[in-house]
């Protein structure tokens, strides 16, 4: 089971490179087996072109390494806090993809401006405030995760309906019920970020009506979904 967990996480780590969401080592993906409480994540700083599935690091929900001579990703504590905060999440993708990161560095949320965005996200993808100096010094990666979860809870944002966020000045975190679904959401986020940027360049006043946004989201998500062959 744990070998399969490693392989699953490994394949998505390669996929985010193939889809140009990552250059150098600017990203990572993890998969969680909730029954055992064990996560597989990319090792810190290891080049993707030398990465093997055996290199994936297993850690428990407290961050203890289960078996590996390699250190887990420096973002491990962020991943763990998201898993602990969002019970429906079993996969996370973090990348510094160009378009999503552009919005993050500008400190701006990605607005929902059309049906393409609405097919994946039920509203704008929020850009969270930066951490305080005290939070950074006390535990940067852990507070990145806890403040992310707290933001969604306090703003009553359903993490299954908007499975992504931006961190001001940083980049994106994207999640899903599996690591493959998190990857799909990360690909969608990058495309939506690019389209939103160009849309606002053409029309800075562009908006999109909620009733169409809600219709398109519900076509693919929830009990009344009817898109595809799953009926």
- Cα–Cα distance for residue pair 123/25, rounded to 1 Å: 30
Q: Where are the beta strands (DSSP E) in the chain?
A: 27-33, 38-41, 57-60, 65-67, 91-95, 127-128, 164-167, 172-176
Minimal CA–CA distance to 87: which of 153, 133, 8, 15?
153
Q: Which of 48, 55, 119, 140 is catalytic?
A: 119
Active site residue 227: yes
Active site residue 140: no
Helix axes 179-202, 98-106, angle to 10 degrees: 60
Q: In the chain, count H helices and then E strands.
A: 7, 8
Kindly list the distances between the CA atom of residue 52 and the CA atoms of 5, 41, 158, in Å, as whole numbers in the listed order. 13, 12, 35
- Cα–Cα distance for residue pair 104/151, rounded to 1 Å: 16
Specify the pairing of strand 65-67 against strand 57-60: antiparallel
- Cα–Cα distance for residue pair 3/26, rounded to 1 Å: 25
Distance from chain centroid for Cα 39: 15
Question: Catalytic site residues?
Answer: 119, 227
């Amino acid at each position: 089971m744990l070998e399969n967990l490693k392989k699953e996480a490994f394949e998505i780590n390669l996929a985010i490179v193939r889809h140009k969401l990552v250059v150098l080592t600017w990203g990572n993906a993890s998969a969680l087996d909730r029954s055992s409480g064990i996560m597989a994540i990319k090792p810190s700083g290891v080049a993707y072109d030398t990465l093997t599935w055996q290199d994936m690091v297993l850690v428990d929900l407290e961050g203890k390494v289960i078996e590996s001579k390699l250190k887990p990703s420096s973002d491990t504590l962020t991943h763990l806090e998201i898993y602990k905060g969002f019970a429906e999440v079993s996969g996370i993708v973090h990348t510094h993809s160009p378009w999503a990161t552009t919005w993050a560095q500008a400190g701006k949320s990605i607005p929902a401006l059309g049906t393409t965005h609405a097919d994946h996200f039920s509203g704008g993808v929020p850009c969270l405030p930066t951490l305080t100096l005290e939070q950074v010094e006390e535990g940067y990666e852990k507070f990145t995760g806890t403040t992310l979860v707290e933001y969604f809870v306090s703003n009553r944002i359903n993490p299954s309906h908007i499975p992504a966020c931006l961190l001001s000045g940083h980049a994106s975190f994207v999640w899903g019920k599996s690591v493959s679904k998190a990857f799909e959401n990360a690909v969608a986020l990058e495309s939506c970020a690019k389209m939103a940027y160009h849309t606002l360049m053409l029309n800075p006043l562009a908006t999109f009506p909620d009733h169409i946004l809600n219709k398109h989201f519900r076509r693919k998500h929830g009990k009344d979904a009817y898109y595809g062959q799953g009926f």
